[in-house]
Homo-oligomer: A and B are copies of this chain.
Amino acid sequence: MRVPHGIDSKAFSAAVRELEGIVGQQWVFTSEEDLYLYRDAYSPFWGEPEERLASAAVSPESVEQVQAILRIANAHKIPIYPISTGRNLGYGGAAPVYSGSVVLDLKRMNRILEIDEQAASCLVEPGVSYFDLYRHIRANKLKLWIDCPDPGWGSLVGNALDHGNGYTMNPFRDHFGAHCGMEVVLANGDLVRTGMGALPGAKTWQQSRYGFGPDVDGIFSQGNSGVVTKMGFWLMAEPEAYLAGTVMVSRHADLVPLMKAFSVLNNTNAMMATTRIGSPLQLGRVFGVPPEPEHAALLDKPGVTPDELEAYGRKNDLPYWTIDLKFYGGTEVVEAQWTYAMRVFKSAIPDVQFTKGDRLTFPLTDAQAEAVQDKASLGIPSLGAFFVGARSPNKPVGSHGHFWLSPILPLSAEAVLEAQKVFAGAFREWGVAPLYRALPQLYSPRAFYLLFGFEVSEDPAVNHKTRETVRRMIKLAAEHGWGEYRTAPAFMDDVMNVYSYNNHALRGLHERIKDALDPNGILAAGRCGIWPKHLRNGRS
């Protein structure tokens, strides 16, 4: 049996027996075979000594069992790493940040506790996936939409706590921002309900956000001071119609007025869905459609100028930049929004071009829902995104997994052009190439995520080089004022280290809260670079 670092193996055996007493023997996992499932399948340390591994896993079915498990962990000073459901691929999987922790696997707590059609809200446990909630809504013919990230098997609670994002309208696509109310088991086993939930018999736990007094919910997001056992969310009422369109400009310099016009729409809430800047000309098609040979040669030419690319674009009818727009609402409203958006772009860039995309009305039949290409924009969960990355028959690149790095940029042409230049220059200098050429994506309402993907290899030497590249990128981005919003466990200390204002004052604040709420330091040690007192000297 594996044993957590610094714990006596006899004491650990005793603790495991206590855990079995709480959840039943079949829900405590200690064999190598069982624990294989808690490895990070996409670990950038796969097979190396630094790979983070669980010493055991325990899967409770109730809040009371979670409380009892934490009390046992405190008594024995056993490190615990809570996970919800889904795969968390690219962000560490189910493996603990601090190797040797016991994984607290909440997958069995998978009840949809409340769903209110008129209020458009729900209360769920951590084991509820996007698929679960979507199927429940379809089966009961509720006029509600969910907002989901790329893989539909993820947990609503887990994704929101990790500051994950989706693709429909604000505020729903900011999954933490669209939550309303929590139930949390603190590290010492105390049970707390936040917001309006602190009022016994509350009628607006999932409707009114702040309750009374300080709003504590945020400290449990990307945090390690409590285990969230229930979480409320605002859902979107099913809109009458959906309309998509694409805006296209032909010149490199058009990005400046394009982004200015887009910002007006974005900042008046006229365009509220996730979008991205595309550049069929400069970046080539992403995800597996390779450019024509002449185009590819041009893209590979050292020092190729925007003029040369523009000329190729004119000849081949390829826009330099594109933005996808999506509208939701009444049938006449989505048409008016598209008309208005075209007017705004036209007045900024007279020769701008447009393509009108999908126009749908709801509800969709099951067959229609199945046939939708861009499912995420309609809140339909799928596993479609897995055509990128590992072990998929249609994968465009050979890989044993991937992970992401997303420096956050201002929503401006200047920022996008500067970042492209900075990273392209660095990649040339370092002799590396990420999984694909990054496009700025508007996951957050007011900032771009510049998404880079990296492959995991079977060869530790390759993984070593990739890790070095990512660490250099984190520092390079920070030098330009761009930080990451989330990262894989391998890089959590690196990212937290660049958030260093005033001698790491914010980390110091996190540590003071951590010490107050988890004095034995049992919960999710090292998560987001926050370590308990007894492990703080060891942090990088």
Contacts and interface: CB of A to CB of B under 8 A. Distances in A.
A207 interface: yes
Interface string A265-294: 011111010000000000000000000000
A484 B202 CA distance: 11
A218 B182 CA distance: 14
Given A213-B530, A215-B218, A267-B235, A412 B340 contact: no
Best-surrounded residue of A219, A225, A329, A501 (most CB of chain B within 10 A): A501
A249 to B, nearest CB: 17
A470 B76 CA distance: 49
Interface string A490-531: 000001101111100111111011011100000000001110
A453 B283 CA distance: 60
Given A268-B236, A332-B340, A408-B204, A213 B500 contact: no
Contacts of A479: 201
B333 A212 contact: no
A220 to B, nearest CB: 7
Nearest to A238: B268
Nearest to A479: B201
Given A207-B447, A208-B408, A237-B263, A199 B483 contact: yes
A483 B202 contact: yes
Contacts of A410: 119, 203-204, 207
Given A192-B502, A415-B203, A269 B267 contact: no
A517 B501 CA distance: 19
Given A121-B446, A482-B203, A516-B513, A508 B190 contact: yes
A158 to B, nearest CB: 15
A383 to B, nearest CB: 27
Contacts of A496: 212-213
Interface in A202-259: 202-204, 207-223, 225, 234-240, 259
A192 B331 CA distance: 48
A512 B506 contact: no
Given A119-B446, A190-B505, A516-B515, A237 B171 contact: no
Contacts of A212: 222, 483-487, 495-496, 499, 528-529
A313 interface: no
Contacts of A513: 214, 216, 513, 516-517
7 tightest Cβ-Cβ pairs between the two chains A and B:
A330-B340, A215-B218, A516-B516, A237-B267, A336-B336, A203-B481, A214-B223
Interface of A: 118-121, 143, 163, 169-171, 174, 176-177, 180, 186, 190-194, 196-204, 207-223, 225, 234-240, 259-260, 263-264, 266-270, 272, 328-333, 335-337, 339-341, 343-344, 408-412, 415, 444-447, 478-487, 495-496, 498-502, 505-510, 512-513, 515-517, 528-530
30 contacts: A118-B263, A119-B267, A120-B263, A163-B210, A191-B502, A191-B505, A193-B502, A194-B506, A198-B505, A198-B506, A198-B507, A199-B483, A199-B501, A204-B408, A204-B410, A204-B447, A208-B447, A210-B485, A212-B483, A212-B496, A214-B513, A216-B513, A234-B267, A237-B267, A270-B330, A330-B339, A332-B339, A333-B336, A336-B336, A513-B513
